Amino acid sequence: MVNPLRKRVKVHLPAVGATLLGALLWLSACATVPITERKSLNLVSDSELLSLSMEQYNQVLRKSKLSTDPEKVQMVKRVGEEIARASEAFLKDSGMESEVKNYKWEFNLIEDDKTVNAWCMPGGKVAVYTGILPFTQNEKGLAVVVGHEIAHAIAKHGNERMSQALLAQLGGLALSVVLSTQSAETSGLFQAAYGVTTNVGVLLPYSRLQESEADRIGLILMAKAGYDPREAIPFWQRMSQGGGSRPPEFLSTHPAPQTRINDLQELIPEAMKYYTR
């Protein structure tokens, strides 16, 4: 039996009607990014996004080799847990205490020296690749990376990217139908929005605006966790110098390194207000 809703999706709406519907969806699904107070589009429910996130997270782990170096593994977990605690405090301080329940933190170190990358899935699933450790060098450098990636999750940048993909590809009327009845297609869109590949793990194609927000929030998170936010400058300098003529994968969709460093220098005084040695 054909679902009547699915048949209805195939009807082409007039351009004006579709535009108005998209505008209404935008207004009704706006979320506020903490600190920057930017309005972002969040069309996907938390439960749907967390389910998709867990599915993709488990898929990546099944295809990856986890590090067995106890010192490095414990360092990743230690830094991650410190920033996770700071993140939950940050959410509460920002009036978003109800969001804390959505995070079930987990931290893994993936053995892959050729991949200079790290990511945090919605829901708090974090992975760091061993290829980025020569650039972090120590716990403070690692805190820069983990704070930045967790900031993406707290700001719901993943939801925003997926919502943009849904809106652009399916149109306003199809959104609720796709999210509720077409799990395979939804999963495909999730993968497209998150740029999941088997050879480099997960790299979210964040816009430069999202990257700047993650930098700002990430500095505050690491400062609240007791890590000096000024360590972000030498870390990004090392990342910039280590890429040669071609930037590492971690930088491929990010702002120009010197632009980022200049911006971070302006953001550090704000983050220092949260820093307690």
Tokens of 88: 């939950």
Residue type, 213: E
Give all strands (DSSP E) within the chain, no chain letters: 30-32, 39-41, 106-110, 118-121, 125-129, 196-197, 201-202
Residue type, 39: K
From the candidates 82, 88, 149, 160, which is the catalytic residue? Answer: 149
With H, G, I as helix, E, B as strand and everything else as coil, classify residue 195. Answer: coil
In this structure, is the dihedral angle defined by the CA atoms of residues 205, 28, 34 and 260, taken in order, positive or negative?
A: positive
Question: Distance (Å, rounded) from C-alpha 145 to C-alpha 128?
Answer: 9
- 40 membership: H or E segment, kind and range: strand 39-41
Query: Which whole-number Å values give the CA distances from 176 to 10, 25, 171, in the listed order?
Result: 14, 11, 10
Instruction: Confirm whether 149 is a catalytic residue.
Output: yes
Active-site positions? 149
